[in-house]
Structure 1
Amino acid sequence: MATATACPIVGTTNDVLPPNHPDIDLSKQGQKCPVVGATTDHHHNLHKHPPVHIEGAKGGPIATACPVLKQVVEQPKSKAMDDEICPVVGTATTVLPPDHPSTKDAKEGDVCPVTKATVGHHKSKVHEHPDVKAAHKGAVCPVAGVKV
């Protein structure tokens, strides 16, 4: 995971699907993830997680129970990106991308138009991105640390 690039939508640098992710043929173009709606068109870097048994995990193992991801979010790069562990995508930044619709007026049952995530379990966990409208070409993103 050290060389993975940040996803432009959720900011994750994790390239391994969680163990409970539904089977999907990552080699086929145009397939849509049944969980977050992402397509395989620009996710060729993803890998399936090896089968694991995690004691007490309801509905199968989830990313938040992974001991490796808990170590990853403690790394300096993850702390700089404000990473946490999402039960679905693994490590992900808690800062929404700059072009994400505002969540200020979102209600508990609302669903994200981008990832299909519900507001209910993301309330107070994700934050709006700092304004970058005036950023010049080649500026560095204050969240992901990548050039825009």
Structure 2
Amino acid sequence: MATMNCPVVGTINSTLPPSHPDIDLNKPGQTCPVVGATTDHHHNLHKHPQVPHPSLTPGHNFDDAAACPALKNKILNEAKSKQMDDDVCPVVGTATTVLPPDHPSTEGKADDAVCPVTKARVDHHKGKIHGHPDVSHASADAVCPVAGVKAT
């Protein structure tokens, strides 16, 4: 089965964080209150398995995807993740640190500037993300140098 990359953050992770608000993933037209994504574009998502309540598991923060052992110890070590320059975002889990080619520049933006697509703040990603390689002259059937997939 081929993996699907999110066209915005590049993630191949299709599991919502355990702390994600309940949402009917089969109902079209809903907007995520966390990142602003719509269910129209995310038919491959599923809920995270139940995990113990944080108060019963000292030292664990279930609101932070970076604390998930499956992401840190398994997914980030996969060849695909290394090729895509993945890291763990505390909100969406694994995501590429390379911005999409059409992402506006973050250079010179105030720390509290908010991304209109994902609601991420500039200060939360300073020094953690970088620009996409230039693809302005790529052919229509070219493969993305970051995600390794063809445009559909």
TM-score, normalization: structure 1?
0.93
Unaligned runs of 5+ in 1: none
Specify the alignment match of 1:10 in structure 2.
9
Greater per-residue helix proportion: 2
1:121 alignment partner, one of 107, 121, 124? 124
Q: Pairwise CA RMSD of aligned residues?
A: 1.4
Match of 2:23, SS state, is: coil
8 Å CA contact 2:109–2:122 kept in 1: the answer is yes
**Number of residue-to-residue matches in the alignment:** 146
8 Å CA contact 1:83–1:94 kept in 2: the answer is yes
2:65 alignment partner, one of 59, 63, 66? 63
8 Å CA contact 1:95–1:126 kept in 2: the answer is yes
Instruction: Report how far residue 62 of structure 1 moved.
Output: 2.3
Runs of 4+ in 1 over 2 A off after TM superposition: 53-58
Instruction: Report how far residue 120 of structure 1 moved.
Output: 1.0
Unaligned runs of 5+ in 2: none
Specify the alignment match of 1:84 in structure 2.
87
Specify the alignment match of 2:111 in structure 1.
108
TM-score, normalization: structure 2?
0.91
Match of 2:77, SS state, is: coil
Q: Distance in 2 between the 1:4 and 1:40 partners?
A: 18
Query: Alpha-carbon deviations, 1:45-80, whole Å to 9, x = none?
Result: 00000111353234x442111111112011111000
